[in-house]
Chains A and B, each alone.
Chain A
């Protein structure tokens, strides 16, 4: 019965993900119908460009149905504007949720989010630094440096927190959390100082930091997707080790887990997966906190199931959040604001609904 329930949950999650992808592509300033979407998507495949131009389908008994060309701009809107945004939201949702689920398992703390250990603060710092360094430079140099520095500083901050909290050959997890919080506070202040003193017009910079998947380009997905796919696969394989960690580090060691090595691998992968999203999508907070929590309700806390379930639900969740961000008002609301709002409410719900075991 229980297995059927879990299988049912996974089937439900897959259907939810597919529906959210379709809805994500269809809704926008101009709502698109399914036949247009299907033709737009087909026309993107090599050699199938005819699907966007007019064509005639010949059926049996001389039946013919004629399709006119797709309205002007639809092919671009489907293939180059909406699909990349939906795919990026999918990968970022997967990345942040899997990273969150693994870190919560590792730290045995349900309130850990990949951004708490300094990833977002480091990323924001690198981003603003790149904006200042490339003032007046060409847009391509500026883009390149923004991606490079925000990624390096995201990963660098976690690495720094790791070094700061290391005592001898061990890295106590509580120290790591505290070091992450301390580094985040300093880096956030430094970022604010840079924006305040050096940026001539801060509006676009501040907006970029609020988090958004809009106007994603395919090459950006080409960088983000492999990291997140690989991370999800490897972390899923670490499910058994994470289960052992939930009984405590000592117990895990007795159960035959090479705790320090597992800890480092999980930490590095989880950090990489969250950090790779920052240069392209800014800070999209709380997804890594909310998604694993919700999934734990449905699937239990077995990490071997929780990680793939969080991946599926995280992808659908962020696509829907992005859709809300795009369509709630006339202007696109930064995605980070939507997830932040939901995250805050969710946090309060957690506090009120039950005592949170720490």
Chain B
């Protein structure tokens, strides 16, 4: 009688131990699983294929271009920005932050002292990858964008929303942008083909050297086309180019935009109107030379929609005149 009882007790204890240990094991597996999911959420692959391993939600972020600083602000993640580039000026508080990069290059020491969890940068301004490599060597996670068109800009806004856990705000910004862009595009489509004006966007001219022009392959060029115009100067480089005044006289644009930028020496329409060498151009005789906000059309951020609407307003005024 004793033997079966002992056996029963032994079996019961083995069962109990195994159940208990099973319980414990299940619990620890759940913790590990959660951490895995958490770190999976905070791991990203940027548009250039770079793996960005964060491990947890980033709280200290450094932005490397004015547009990225503006995007951070637009998606409601401004309080996470601890440093930015020297040209960032929106929101105005950006001017008071530590500036870790300027055209002179990266201040690596300043960047390290800021202890960022994440740096967001734009490859357009780091075409040689020098700054990117420098930051990677400091073991700081870097997320890079490389916008080439307006849909890339919207994707960048979405990405910043995900990186900062502000996807709802980011979606709202994008929806508003798309809705307004569609409205412009619809109105632009109604312009008769023969009325489509040729538009020249001058980004810098001081009368002593040939003007700098934003061509059709730049962001400003895309905005001009969506707004209902066509670009007077074509070029595939994607950058502003210096174009001889003679070529501009030959291309004879109907509208000229002169942009004022906050981080670039600037011109006003008076520079062009006061220069007799431009006088044979249609835009001058029809008084269609306008000052436009440079930051709205060359910063790849949410304010591009303002640039598009400004361009569209001038183009429609010209078409209706």
* Binary CB contact string for chain A from 114 to 155 against chain B (1 if under 8 A, 0 otherwise): 000000000000000000000000010011000000000000
Q: A142 CA to B204 CA in the complex, in Å?
A: 15
B296 CB to nearest chain A CB (Å): 18
Interface residue A212 (Cβ < 8 Å from any Cβ of B) = yes
Check if B207 sits within 8 Å of A72, measured CB to CB: no
Contact between B242 and A72, CB atoms less than 8 A apart = no
Q: Is B210 at the interface (CB under 8 A from chain A)?
A: yes
B206 lies within 8 A of A204 (CB)? yes
Q: Which of B6-46 contact A (CB under 8 A)?
A: none
How would residues 178 to 212 of chain A score, 1 for a CB under 8 Å from any chain B CB and 0 otherwise? Answer: 00000000000000000010001110100110001
**CB-contacts of A200-235 with B (<8 A):** 200-202, 204, 207-208, 212, 214-215, 217
A215 contacts B207, C-beta separation under 8 Å: yes
CA distance A30 to B276 in the complex (A): 20
Minimal beta-carbon separation of A33 from chain B (angstroms) = 16
* Residues of B236-286 whose CB lies within 8 A of A: 241-242, 244-247, 249-250, 252, 263-265, 267, 271, 276-277, 279-280
Say yes or no for B209: interface residue by CB 8 A criterion.
Answer: yes
Give B141-158 interface residues, CB cut-off 8 Å to A: none
Contact B104 A143 (CB under 8 A): no
B265's partner among A75, A81, A201, A217 (CB-CB below 8 A) is A201
CB distance from B84 to the nearest CB of A (A): 16
The contact of A81 among B103, B245, B267, by CB within 8 Å, is B245
Nearest Cβ on chain A to B263's Cβ, whole angstroms: 6
Assuming the contacts A29-B244, A215-B245, asked whether A207 and B209 have C-beta atoms less than 8 A apart, the reply is: yes
- The residues of B that contact A332 with a CB separation of less than 8 Å are 210, 242, 244
Residue of A nearest to B262 (CB): A200
Q: How far is the CB of A336 from chain B (nearest CB, A)?
A: 13
Interchain CB contact under 8 A, B271 and A139: yes
Within 8 A of A (CB), among B193-235: 204, 206-210, 212
Contact, CB under 8 Å: B276 / A80: yes
User: Inside 8 A of A331's CB, which chain B residues have their CB?
Assistant: 241-242
Query: A251-269: which residues lie under 8 A (CB-CB) from chain B?
Result: none
- Give Cα A332–Cα B206 distance, bound, in whole angstroms: 16
What CA separation (Å) do A30 and B252 show in the bound complex?
A: 14
Contact across chains for A30 and B209 when beta carbons are under 8 A apart: no
The answer to whether A172 has its CB under 8 Å from any CB of chain B is: no
Across the interface, which residues of A come within 8 angstroms of B247, CB to CB? 29
A295-328 CB mask vs B (1 if < 8 Å, else 0) is 0000000000000000000000000000000100
Q: Is B246 in contact with A28, judged by CB distance below 8 angstroms?
A: yes
Answer yes or no: A109 CB below 8 A from chain B CBs: no
Q: Which of A81, A196, A204 contacts B246 (CB 8 A)?
A: A81
Taking A30-B250, A73-B250, A139-B271 as contacts, is the C-beta distance between A202 and B241 under 8 angstroms?
no
Q: Are A204 and B280 in contact (CB under 8 A)?
A: no
Q: Which residues B89-106 have CB closer than 8 A to chain A?
A: 103-104
Tell me whether A215 and B210 are in contact (CB under 8 A): yes
A174 at the interface (CB under 8 A from B): no
When distances are taken between beta carbons in the complex, the residues of chain B under 8 Å from A29 are 244, 246-247, 250
Given contacts A81-B245, A196-B104, A201-B263, contact A72 B209 (CB under 8 A): no
Evaluate contact between A139 and B267: CB separation under 8 angstroms. Answer: yes
Residues of A within 8 A of B208 (CB): 143, 208, 215
Known contacts A29-B250, A81-B277; decide if A201 and B103 are in contact (CB<8 Å): yes
| Cross-chain contact B244 with A76 (CB below 8 angstroms) | no
- A76 pairs with B280, CB closer than 8 A: yes
Q: A30-B246, A204-B206, A215-B208 are in contact. Are A72 and B277 (CB under 8 A)?
A: no
Closest to A196 in B: B104
| Cβ 8 A contact of B207, one of A28, A81, A143, A202 | A143
Asked if A42 CB lies within 8 Å of chain B CBs, one says no
CA distance A150 to B98 in the complex (A): 36
Chain A residues, Cβ within 8 Å of B104? 196
Contact A204 B249 (CB under 8 A): no
CB-defined contacts of A72 to chain B, threshold 8 Å:
252, 280
Q: State the Cβ distance, A172 to closest chain B Cβ, in Å.
A: 39
Point out the residues of chain B lying under 8 angstroms from A173, CB to CB. Answer: none
Q: Is the CB of A200 within 8 A of B263?
A: yes
Most chain B beta-carbon contacts within 10 A, residue among A75, A77, A143: A77
Given A29-B246, A29-B250, A139-B267, A76 contacting B279 (CB threshold 8 A): yes
Q: Looking at the complex, which one of B209, B212, B264, B265 makes contact with A214 (CB distance below 8 Å)?
A: B209
Q: How far does the Cβ of B139 sit from chain A's closest Cβ, in whole Å?
A: 29
CB distance from B298 to the nearest CB of A (A): 12
Q: How far is the CB of A47 from the nearest CB of chain B, in Å? A: 19
Instruction: Please pick, from A73, A139, A217, the residue contacting B249 in the complex, using a CB distance under 8 A.
Output: A73
In the complex formed, the residue of A with least CB distance to B280 is A73
Is B206 touching A139 in the complex (CB atoms < 8 A)?
yes
List, sorted by A's number, 14 A–B pairs whose CB atoms are closer than 8 Å.
Answer: A28-B244, A29-B250, A75-B280, A76-B277, A80-B276, A139-B271, A142-B206, A143-B207, A196-B104, A204-B204, A204-B265, A215-B245, A331-B242, A332-B242
> Across chains A and B, which 10 residue pairs bring their CB atoms closest together, nearest first?
A73-B249, A73-B280, A29-B247, A29-B246, A80-B277, A201-B264, A76-B280, A77-B246, A28-B246, A139-B271
A73-B249, A215-B207, A332-B244 provided; 7 other pairs, C-beta below 8 A? Answer: A28-B244, A143-B206, A143-B208, A215-B209, A215-B277, A217-B207, A326-B244
